[in-house]
Amino acid sequence: MLPDLARDEISRYARHLIIPSVGVEGQRKLKAARVLIVGAGGLGSPVALYLAAAGVGHIGLVDFDVVDVTNLQRQILHGTKDIGRSKLESARDTIADINPHVELTTYETALTSNNALDIIRQYDLVVDGTDNFPTRYLVNDACVLLGKPNVYGSIFRFEGQASVFSAKDGPCYRCLFPEPPPPGTVPSCAEGGVLGVLPGLIGTIQATEAIKLIIGIGDPLVGRLLLVDALAAQFRSVNVRKNPACPACGTREITELIDYDQFCGIPQAAAAMSAAGEMPEITPIELAERLRAGDVDLIDVREQNEWDFARIPGARLIPMGEFPEASSELDRNRDIVVQCRSGMRSGKVLRQLQAAGFTRVWNLAGGILRWSDEVDPSVPKY
């Protein structure tokens, strides 16, 4: 039995109700629907806003993050007043304002192998707005195990992908990408950047697909991977198929959720890092003293465009991509400190320098972010 629409709901959804293929029945299906959105960030924002506005009766939202000023360029669920608040609390206020008829359940936690099945089980479909590979494989496998459609979207700089996985007869994420990429080879939004409007483009496609699936109209993106290139203004849809050898939806040898960090090689990469010996590090305060004494060379391994808006005075820019060749420009007889935004990239460069025989090299712990906190707040954090 579909729920009835109250009088004020009929007015609110009037522009849906007059579309013949939606009508009162379609709107009642939306009201009856339960949709879980994983992630209240770039993709989750437009998805939650539009599904709430469209009258999806019950929305679940999973996130454990706090609103940061760098989120606001794209995460339109949150505003300037929300900086420092929990994303879920901020989302609750925004959604209540857009549509008080929506029932919202929030899960202030990371989605994990321990909780994913219990949470997802309660919903009709899942919208994947996560930002990392382990969680994408987790969402995929949980949806396959429970037989729930997974409305997928992902973004990188000016490009995005969208599809509907784990639907009846369609492929799943693992059919397309059976092996996760090695850790550190595909940059996240924080590392690679993303055009603020891009999650809007991809997220609204995800919201559209969710609504189509709920009402049962149109041709969903099942068996098709949509590739969006915002710079070229091109949308390509590639026909993809179910892989009979897929361990999730083909042979079904995956019968329970696994350790997805392990699957994606994250602890192995960390172990390899520490097996290479302890990372020689210097704190921002120590570095400030050494720079004043002038007995250290500070090498910034970020990109020119990052250097243009934030840098540590006294540093020299040699972008990471110019190593290991650029190491010939460095003076082996002086102490060298390498530095980036957070210390990740400079840590990799440090390992290359060690491999090239440099012994007097240190990594700036915490990079520019920590430098700004502890030494010079006039250097912008980003």
Partner 1 sequence: MEVRVLLFASYADAFGSPNVSVTVREGATVKELLARVKEMAVGHSLPPAPLIAINQEYAAPGDVVRAGDEVALIPPVAGG
Give the residue numbers annotated as catalytic, written as ranges.
Answer: 189, 340
Q: How far is the CB of 15 from partner 1 (least distance, A)?
A: 29
Distance CA 370, CA 290 (A): 16
Q: How far is the CB of 366 from partner 1 (least distance, A)?
A: 23
Provide CB contacts within 8 A for 57, sequence distance 6+. Answer: 3, 30, 31, 32, 33, 34, 101, 102, 103
Distance CA 243, CA 252 (A): 11
Contacts with partner 1 in 143-162 (CB under 8 A)?
153-157, 159-161
Tell me phi and psi for residue 28, to 5 degrees: -70, -35
Q: What share of the chain is helix, strand, coil (3-state, %, to 5)?
A: 40, 20, 40
Q: Which listed residue (59, 164, 189, 340) binds partner 1 by CB under 8 A?
A: 189
Site string for partner 1, 313-352 (x = CB under 8 A): ----------------------------------------
Contacts with partner 1 in 31-50 (CB under 8 A)?
39, 41-44
Contacts with partner 1 in 95-134 (CB under 8 A)?
128-133
Q: How far is the CB of 7 from partner 1 (least distance, A)?
A: 38
Q: Is 185 in the site for partner 1 (CB under 8 A)?
A: yes
Residue (81 or 236) nearer to partner 1, CB: 236
| Ramachandran region, residue 160 (left: φ > 0; alpha: ψ -120 to 50; beta: rest) | beta
Distance CA 337, CA 360 (A): 9
Pairing of strands 34-38, 335-339: unpaired
Please report which residue ranges of 170-283 form alpha helices under DSSP H: 173-176, 189-192, 198-215, 260-263, 266-275
Contacts with partner 1 in 45-84 (CB under 8 A)?
none
The distance in angstroms from the start CA to the end CA of the chain is: 50
Residue (245 or 270) nearer to partner 1, CB: 245
User: Looking at 10-18, 85-93, 239-247, 332-340, which segment touches partner 1 (CB under 8 A)?
Assistant: 239-247
Two tokens at 305? 């465009």
Q: Is 377 in the site for partner 1 (CB under 8 A)?
A: no
Contacts with partner 1 in 251-270 (CB under 8 A)?
none
Residue (176 or 318) nearer to partner 1, CB: 176
Residue (227 or 369) nearer to partner 1, CB: 227
Two tokens at 365? 């712990």
Q: Which residues bind partner 1 (CB under 8 A)?
A: 39, 41-44, 128-133, 136, 153-157, 159-161, 176-181, 185-189, 192, 194, 199, 225, 227, 229, 232, 236-241
